[in-house]
Amino acid sequence: MTSDSAATNITWHDGHVTREERTQLLKQKGLTIWFTGLSASGKSTVASALEQHLLHKGVNAYRLDGDNIRFGLNKNLGFSPEDRTENIRRIAE
């Protein structure tokens, strides 16, 4: 893995479970679904309902809500075009 980091005292650590092993152990493949749209358009409501539905079906699921992320990891970001881009970059990483 290459790094764009300016730090020289960090090392990437690969996990000990491969993607194939994780798929076999969990009996499901990993998947990310991004709900995008205008503010207050119902994204969080739909995502919460989907998470609950999947969990009740026995599918491992976890919802990361963009508003919740802005209370922690991205609490120093506003809503300028630059901050929105950085918000997405941090979440995707």
pLDDT tens by residue, the chain, 93 residues: 555 668 889 998 999 999 999 999 999 999 999 999 998 999 999 999 999 999 999 999 999 998 999 999 999 999 999 999 999 999 998
d(CA 42, CA 81): 22
Provide the pLDDT for residue 6: 82
55: which residues sit within 8 A by CB, 6+ positions away?
61
Q: Is the full-model pTM beyond 0.95?
A: no
The residue segments making up the domain with residue 64 are: 32-92
- Domain assignment present for residue 52? The answer is yes
In a domain, 13, yes or no: no
Q: Is residue 57 part of a domain?
A: yes
Q: How many domains does the chain have?
A: 1
pLDDT at 5: 67
Q: Is 5 among the domain residues?
A: no
42 lies in some domain = yes
Task: Give a yes or no: residue 12 inside a domain.
Answer: no
Establish if 18 belongs to a structural domain: no
